[in-house]
Amino acid sequence: MTVSPPPLGHRLLVADSRSGTDRSLVECLAGLPFEIEQVTSLAQALARLESKSFDAVAVDVGLPDGDGAKAVSVLRERTRGTAVVALVNVAERLTGVEAMQLGAEDYLVKEHFDPRLAERTLLAAIDRRRTLLELERAEAQVRRQALFFESVSDAILVADNDDRIVDCNGAAERIFGFTRQEMIGQTPSLLRAGLDHPSLRKEIVEAIEREGRWFGEIPFVAKDGRTGINEVLVMPIRDEAGRFVGTFGANRDITERKRLEEQLRHAQALEAVGRLAGGVAHDFNNLLTTILGYCDVMMQDLAEGDPLRSSVREIRRAGERAAALTRQLLAFGRKQVFAAQLVDLNALVEQTGDRLRAAAGDRVEVRLEPDSARRLLVRVDEALLEQILLNLAANAVDAMPHGGLMVLATAAVRVEGEDGNPSGPRAGEYALLTFSDSGSGMDAETRRHLFEPFFTTKEKGAGRGLGLASVYGTVTQAGGHIDVSSSLGSGTTLRLFLPRVADRPSGEHELPLKKPSAPAEVAEPGGREVVLVVEDDEMVRRLVRQVLSSRGYQVIEAASAEQAMALLPTAQASVDLLLTDLFMSGASGIDLAQEFIRRSPRGRVILMSGYADEAALQGGMPNAAGFLQKPFTADQLVRRVRRALHSTEN
């Protein structure tokens, strides 16, 4: 039976099987704001609740299939949003109480049905059920918020309008080191030692009023003195009237990220400066080649006792010092000619010990701690690596004017892939060379500039500041990495990671290198062979032509690899030696040498450059008679050409 209610009535389901002359609940509610449906069993009530939603259900505890008050618990399990009112007899009032204990909002006595009482009871039950649901939803939301509040890795600080912390999460305790009780009631200035907190607070509030939020980076100081940087998002908290009553701040610890970014920027800056240094040194080497070469030419033309000979010697000596400086620039730029060879790091440390002790003097103790349990083979330029140790020792001694301890140790280490970072060593096996001293140490600003060329903390005129720059270049060119740890008053430790090798690879090719030497008193014999000279610097090309021509050689010149290739078809039969710069605009010296050897299988090749990298040299030419490093003297040029032409190697 359905009774049509006034508009906007509440939907009511009545489950009542009573019959007789007693007035029913449906009749009692006639004309009141209820849309009523009636069923006569619990099963029918459950079926209707499955297909339609009701605001309330009035259930007779005497239903034949209801098992008394337990019918209420069955209905409560099926629907959380519907109010349940039990219908009981006068004699069953205790059953009504039991029904409420099982989930009913209230009960009505059948014999005393009164329209107003029934209406009030049902409306109150509906309101109570809705209120209870809202409370459950609110409680669930609070639990979710609390779970989020405690589970996020960001430190969350909730502050009131007076900037006093009123709550924080567990992450805040972990990051800042203070307990929740220690932070509550304090201002965030507790965590920001050294900052102008009132100015920062004003900036944050103004940004919130203007943009609705504030986002930025704030340095922090933890309870134990540890410092770091937080990425902070501050949002406003407003009351129901929209008034600003506090702030919600999420603090993400980005200390490690900032450190890695700083290391990466530093590495990129060093890379850029290295490229610049290498480019400058390349051009400078061409000038020095001309200066040193013509010094030799003049020395040959000047008789013994001529007062100009001493002047030329001074010019040459200055040129050699400039050449040494240029080699350091090239080492920093990782463009130095790299005489790669297998070196036992332990043996090198042992054999360098006496020189280190001599450099350290009597006040500094030198302790060597090589890893004697294994061989630590690395592929480096032995002379450059030895120079690294001497450079490091010199810096360590300067940091210990009153004496101290210098320790040089080696070890085998492995860097795992997951441990790597953009500014650290790549994954792999390394021989670790650790150099530490007990000196004055360095501050953060000095560490940032440590490997830059010409940076020095010494007094004016006391040093060029290129020693550590060349260390950086040499280690990086060898595929290694340098890590520095130091603080004022605590000494310095440098860890050099050099790629470790097990044995010499089969077929490894090395070009013989010759170190600069003083001009010979006896002129190198010349020859009548044909030499094709390819050099894009006109001054160097003119010098080489003059020196070789004066020794009887026939010289053919080309200013580029392309020009030389154009000459080869007509000159290839007579060219005995190709002397070419390694790097030129357009095609490289390697490209030209390969084409020359293809056309003249028995021809000889000399590569020359002051700006070479290991990759270019390792692509070595089978007919390459050697490498002539710029700047070179006239005597070195003639000796290299003579040796190449007399070589019988294929």
Pairing of strands 56-60, 10-15: parallel
CB neighbour list of residue 33: distance below 8 Å, 6 or more residues apart? 5, 6, 8, 9, 10
Q: How far apart, in whole angstroms, are the C-alpha atoms of residue 105 and residue 85?
A: 6
**pLDDT computed for residue 178 by the predictor:** 92
Q: What are phi and psi of 90, to 5 degrees?
A: -55, -40
pLDDT value of position 277 = 63
By CB neighbour count within 10 A (0-12 exposed, 13-18 middle, 19+ buried), where does 202 fall?
exposed
Q: Tally Cβ neighbours within 10 Å of residue 512.
A: 11
3-class DSSP assignment, residue 341: strand
pLDDT tens-digit series, residues 550-581: 889 999 999 998 998 888 877 656 888 899 98
pLDDT at 601: 80
pLDDT reported for residue 306: 82
Residue among 469, 476, 470, 468 at smallest CA distance from 492: 468
Task: Report the alpha-carbon distance of residue 163 to residue 349 in Å, rounded.
Answer: 60
Q: What's residue 512's pLDDT?
A: 38
Q: What is the pLDDT of residue 23?
A: 65
- Residue 532: predicted pLDDT: 93
State the first-to-last Cα distance of the chain, in angstroms, to the nearest integer: 114
Given pLDDT bands bounded at 50, 70 and 90, which one contains residue 243?
A: confident
Say if strands 165-168 and 155-160 run parallel, antiparallel, or are unpaired: antiparallel
pLDDT of amino acid 517: 42
Q: What is the mean pLDDT of the chain?
A: 78
More confident residue, 54 or 426: 54
3-state secondary structure of 305: coil
Write the pLDDT tens digit of every residue in 129-188.
888 888 777 667 766 666 667 777 888 888 888 888 888 888 899 889 999 899 988 888
The pLDDT tens digits of the residues spanning 346-367 come to 888 888 888 888 878 888 898 9
- At 553 the pLDDT is 92
Coil, strand, or helix at residue 400? coil
- pLDDT at position 548: 92
Prediction pTM value: 0.41
Q: Which residues contact 60 (CB under 8 A, 6 or more apart)?
A: 15, 16, 17, 18, 66, 87, 110
Q: Does residue 283 or residue 605 have the better pLDDT?
A: 605
Residue 322's nearest CA partner among 289, 277, 276, 275 is: 289
What pLDDT, on a 0 to 100 scale, did the predictor assign at position 332? 54
- Is pLDDT above 80 for 104? yes
